[in-house]
Structure 1
Amino acid sequence: MASSRDRQRKLARAKLDRQMARRAASARRRRQIQAGVGAALALALIVLGSVWALGGFDREPSPAAAPEICAWTPQDAASNSSLKDVGMPSTTGLPTTGTRPMTITTNQGSPVTVDLDLANAPCAGASFAHLAGRSFYDNTTCHEITADGALRCGDPSGTGTGGPTYTFTSENVPSAPAPEPTPSASPAAGQPPLYPAGTVALIGSAPGANGSQFLIFLKDFNPTAPTYPIVGKVSAGLDVIQKIGTTELVDNGSGEKVKPKTDVVIQSLTVGEPATDAPPAAPPATTTPTATPTAAGQS
């Protein structure tokens, strides 16, 4: 019996030793795993610290929003049936240097070419391009020769009250001439005209509220209080415009003898791509306080 008990004790002892050995091995594995994880974390921290020190976590700057060059003021077509809705031009990404060719083909002779001044009147250039791209001016009538000596065009209604469903402010109104030293002297004496023959300018429903209507000056015009924003000049075909200026004028239906007896029809008006090699434009003129333009029924 004693030897049987001894064997049982030996077997129990051996079992305990095996359990202890397994526990010890398991503890060693845990320590090894923990040591490995700790080393990996330490290495990761070192790498992350290096990346941070080198600026790897600096946030990329957000691209700046393109500045809005032009602001278009909506107009209510419901209150003016002469307005034509063709949307609005873009407010960003507009060309602001050089010139842009505008070609006006009428029923009165060879086409008239205008160089739009993008440096001094970029919004006017953008508006002309937008409207021309939607055939806004095609088959419209130049309905007036103004008292200021300019052919007035750009109103699809032919009434002087039409335009698109937006307006925009004036950009390039010439400065008023300096006063002469004596009251008897002409205000234009010794000074170049503010609006030389061939000048293209906008005419709005009120100064600073421009739409589609424009003037092409048949002769030099030098007012004491300029109000028309200059948008370009005729580079070819001024003789055609001046010939139109000699036509007989008739009543426009409102008691004013300003309408050409023979209809002057714009068959098409197109705007080309901006010129990439155009010389720098002259600095913009300083806008002066405006007065009501002399032409009647402006829009």
Structure 2
Amino acid sequence: MRIHSAASRPFALRRSLLAVVAVATLALVGCSSTPDAGGPAVDTDASGECVYPSTGRDAAKDVAPPQTEPAASGDIAVTMGTSAGDIAMTLDADAAPCTVNSFLSLAEQGYFDDTQCHRLTTAGIFVLQCGDPSATGRGGPGYSFADELTGSETYKAGTLAMANAGPDTNGSQFFIVYDDSQLSPDYTVFGRLDDASTAIVAGIAAEGTDSGASDGAPKNPVEIVSVTQ
């Protein structure tokens, strides 16, 4: 499946995969809004600053777009407090400056606070998807931004990456990989979890989904309480 976050379902099946993998593989949709008709977002403008154009849709939670010049660099330690325990993240602002800039801006504005991780997959690819205050898989911050890809991305256990609805449609939805996953290099990797935090997410996955299917909301709801540096 694919991991997306626009008007399509959060994880769309890739028909080219084997059927057993397709059932559990997700379209990792990471933004909730449909891309503007004018085309994909541009990573930076002529000055090298990040660009966050409006999607033309209301934000799922009131929030302002980030500043265009990233303030962070290097590794940034972040704690995502959840109902399942604290998850330690290390963001890579050098590899994905515009992505980390957006994530930190949303965190500072409380965008992720008191929201639920809306999707869990337990076969094919192994991810927990969060970042949509509406918990529908279609919510976003009202702006988009471009991918920051090398083309050689891998998604091993502990990877933190953006969900999307296609090229350059990133918003607020992200996913955590809790077991090595085979995904095409279409999703911006912007950080990682330590082993203990990856184990917390694996524990959430071990409890399964609310429907018992391999793709759905976590059986035990996972609430993000806060995201802090």
1:170 matched to 2:147? yes
RMSD (CA atoms): 2.2
Could you tell me which amino acid in structure 2 is paired with residue 227 of structure 1?
D
Aligned partner of 2:185 in structure 1 is 226
* 153, 167, 178: which one aligns with 1:207: 167
- Structure 2 vs 1, CA of residues 173 and 162 (structure 1 numbering), >3 Å: closer, same or farther? farther
1:125-136 alignment, distance < 5 Å: 125-136=100-111
Q: Alpha-carbon deviation of 1:102?
A: 1.6
Q: Alpha-carbon deviation of 1:161?
A: 0.4
Could you tell me which amino acid in structure 1 is paired with residue 176 of structure 2?
I
Q: Alpha-carbon deviation of 1:75?
A: 1.7
Aligned partner of 1:105 in structure 2 is 81
Aligned partner of 1:70 in structure 2 is 50
Larger Rg: 1
SS at match of 2:91: strand
In the aligned structure 2, how far is the partner of 1:148 from the partner of 1:114?
20
In the aligned structure 1, how far is the partner of 2:70 from the partner of 2:131?
25
SS at match of 1:168: coil
- Structure 2 vs 1, CA of residues 199 and 216 (structure 1 numbering), >3 Å: closer, same or farther? same
In the aligned structure 2, how far is the partner of 1:227 from the partner of 1:91?
23
Q: Does structure 2 conserve the Cα–Cα contact (< 8 Å) formed by 1:202 and 1:210?
A: yes
1:230-245 alignment, distance < 5 Å: 230-235=189-194, 236-245=196-205
In the aligned structure 2, how far is the partner of 1:93 from the partner of 1:269?
18
Return the TM-score normalized by structure 1: 0.56
Q: Does structure 2 conserve the Cα–Cα contact (< 8 Å) formed by 1:77 and 1:84?
A: no
In the aligned structure 2, how far is the partner of 1:117 from the partner of 1:73?
23
Choose between structure 1 and 2: higher helix proportion: 1
In the aligned structure 2, how far is the partner of 1:148 from the partner of 1:227?
14
Q: Does structure 2 conserve the Cα–Cα contact (< 8 Å) formed by 1:250 and 1:258?
A: yes
* 129, 132, 138: which one aligns with 1:152: 129
Runs in 1 of length 4+ with deviation above 4 angstroms? none
Could you tell me which amino acid in structure 2 is paired with residue 166 of structure 1?
Y
Q: Alpha-carbon deviation of 1:123?
A: 0.7
1:249 matched to 2:209? yes
Measured against aligned partners, the alpha-carbon deviations of 1:118-154 in whole angstroms (never above 9, x if no partner) come to: 1110111111111011100011001111352100001
SS at match of 1:84: coil
- Structure 2 vs 1, CA of residues 250 and 242 (structure 1 numbering), >3 Å: closer, same or farther? same
In the aligned structure 2, how far is the partner of 1:174 from the partner of 1:124?
16
- Structure 2 vs 1, CA of residues 268 and 244 (structure 1 numbering), >3 Å: closer, same or farther? same
In the aligned structure 2, how far is the partner of 1:93 from the partner of 1:231?
14
1:134-145 alignment, distance < 5 Å: 134-145=109-120
Q: Does structure 2 conserve the Cα–Cα contact (< 8 Å) formed by 1:89 and 1:126?
A: yes
Q: Alpha-carbon deviation of 1:197?
A: 0.1
Q: Does structure 2 conserve the Cα–Cα contact (< 8 Å) formed by 1:152 and 1:215?
A: yes
Q: How many residues align?
A: 181
Aligned partner of 1:116 in structure 2 is 91
Return the TM-score normalized by structure 2: 0.72
1:216 matched to 2:176? yes
Higher relative contact order (CA 8 A, sep 6+): 2
- Structure 2 vs 1, CA of residues 93 and 213 (structure 1 numbering), >3 Å: closer, same or farther? closer
SS at match of 2:78: strand
SS at match of 1:238: helix
Q: Does structure 2 conserve the Cα–Cα contact (< 8 Å) formed by 1:174 and 1:230?
A: no
Q: Does structure 1 conserve the Cα–Cα contact (< 8 Å) formed by 2:82 and 2:226?
A: yes
In the aligned structure 2, how far is the partner of 1:250 from the partner of 1:155?
18
Q: Alpha-carbon deviation of 1:219?
A: 0.5
In the aligned structure 1, how far is the partner of 2:82 from the partner of 2:170?
23
Q: Does structure 2 conserve the Cα–Cα contact (< 8 Å) formed by 1:161 and 1:205?
A: no
